[in-house]
Amino acid sequence: MKTGYLICILSLAWIFPQAQDVVFEKDDFILSGDASEYSGQCFRLTSDRRWQGGGVWFNKPIDLRNPFEMEIDISFGCRDEGADGIVFIFHPELTTGFQGEGMGFGGLYPSLGVEMDTYENYHLGDPWYDHVALMRNGRVHHATGITDPVSLTESGQNVEDCSTHRVKISWEPVGNIFQFSFDGSVRIKKEIQLIDQVFYGNSLVYWGFSSATGDKYNTHLVCLERLKFKSVNVFPSYIRDLLLTGESYILDKLDFSPGSIALPASAPEELDKLVQFLKSNPRQSVFLSGFTDSSGDATQNQNLSRRRAAAVADYLIRQGIDPKRIHSSGLGETNPIAPNDTAEGRRKNRRIEVALMILRV
């Protein structure tokens, strides 16, 4: 590594069952603001200029029901008293927030931000030293933080020093412990109900980095070296395109037992794909249509199909989808897609169909 280059090397080790190395390309990341591609596997969040702001997001979600660990070698630049810093963010949508003193985290709701701040904004309660704090819901005043700000370094030294610093971030859901270390020293260790208290029961979130400059400035680069995590299912592109063009889609792996409204054990794998699709397309509302086979009474079948659609709607709501975006109905044994005179045909007719409509605002 050449002296003077600002390199932020990200090495992630996600420690939970079935974790796997992820082969990623730059196309797997979504850029916002002034962020741009850099050499190799690197992105530049901001240039060494005034009033810059940029974000880089991985385009697939993670599941906070599983533990993780991140190790990051990060540089904050060479200009002492530069601005503003870098925030690591968890957020249910692929969206960067307010720039300037918000550092791309401001205004994101709900959210968790690991704010690594190198500038003192007196009116936000910033201390004079380079500091770190856990913040929530896009609020950047330390009076509303999850933790008080502490020095990034144990000695209180300046970190805008053209050097890289090792950062470690970990989450253990069993004990609800969030931990942040800097250059081998634990700076924050906090017990927090991350899923319930920050994300209101939603465990599926996206992750990314953002930074900003103001009248003071520095260059911020992020270089991704390794990703390892448990994959979260998303719809393949052809299904996303199908839905976005107004076509309906039959939810796979929702094989309801005859007469039952209970979601099968395989349901979360399929429904989490729909959850992530809706979070990635916040202007869409979803219409859930339930159907049954022709066994039994037609009136009872209509009620059964309505309750099955409602069970799917309840799952989406528990995962953070606004109830106002969800409409469900039961159509009973109408519109069969297979003959009802075979077990396989009846299984296919016990289904949930999904269609979308753009919300008008």
- 282 located within any domain: yes
Do residue 203 and residue 241 come from a single domain? Answer: no
CA 55 to each of CA 3, 24, 86, 97, 355: distance values in angstroms, whole numbers, following the listed order: 25, 18, 10, 9, 32
Do residue 140 and residue 51 come from a single domain? Answer: yes
**How many CB atoms lie under 10 A from the CB of residue 252?**
13
pLDDT the model gives residue 10: 44
Domain count, the chain: 2
Closest CA to 224 of 85, 79, 35, 98: 35
Rounded to whole angstroms, the Cα distance separating 184 from 186 reads 7
pTM for the model: 0.68
pLDDT the model gives residue 93: 86
Do residue 296 and residue 214 come from a single domain? Answer: no
Half-sphere exposure of 141 (CA within 13 A, CB side): 4
At 242, phi and psi to the nearest 5? -60, -50
Which residues does the chain have with pLDDT short of 50?
A: 1-17, 360-361
Do residue 223 and residue 243 come from a single domain? Answer: no
- 4 located within any domain: no
Do residue 137 and residue 261 come from a single domain? Answer: no
pLDDT the model gives residue 358: 59
Do residue 303 and residue 186 come from a single domain? Answer: no
- 2 located within any domain: no
- 1 located within any domain: no
The pair of structure tokens assigned to 304 is: 């059964």
167-188 residue pLDDT tens: 888 888 889 999 999 999 999 9
Do residue 173 and residue 42 come from a single domain? Answer: yes
Do residue 173 and residue 245 come from a single domain? Answer: no
Contact call for residues 329 and 352 (beta carbons, < 8 A): no
Residue that terminates a domain, selected from 188, 213, 229: 229
The pair of structure tokens assigned to 235 is: 């719809």
Contact call for residues 127 and 152 (beta carbons, < 8 A): no
**Residue 252's domain is classified under what CATH number?**
3.30.1330.60
pLDDT the model gives residue 20: 63
pLDDT the model gives residue 170: 87
Do residue 272 and residue 214 come from a single domain? Answer: no
pLDDT the model gives residue 351: 94
Do residue 201 and residue 327 come from a single domain? Answer: no
Closest CA to 60 of 312, 244, 268, 229: 229
Closest CA to 10 of 246, 168, 199: 168
147-162 residue pLDDT tens: 999 999 999 999 999 9
pLDDT the model gives residue 300: 95
pLDDT the model gives residue 16: 41
Residue that terminates a domain, selected from 196, 229, 262: 229
Residue that terminates a domain, selected from 177, 203, 229: 229
- 200 located within any domain: yes
Do residue 337 and residue 317 come from a single domain? Answer: yes
**Residue 39's domain is classified under what CATH number?**
2.60.120.200
- 208 located within any domain: yes
Do residue 192 and residue 253 come from a single domain? Answer: no
- 3 located within any domain: no
Domain boundaries, position 216: 9-229
Contact call for residues 175 and 68 (beta carbons, < 8 A): no
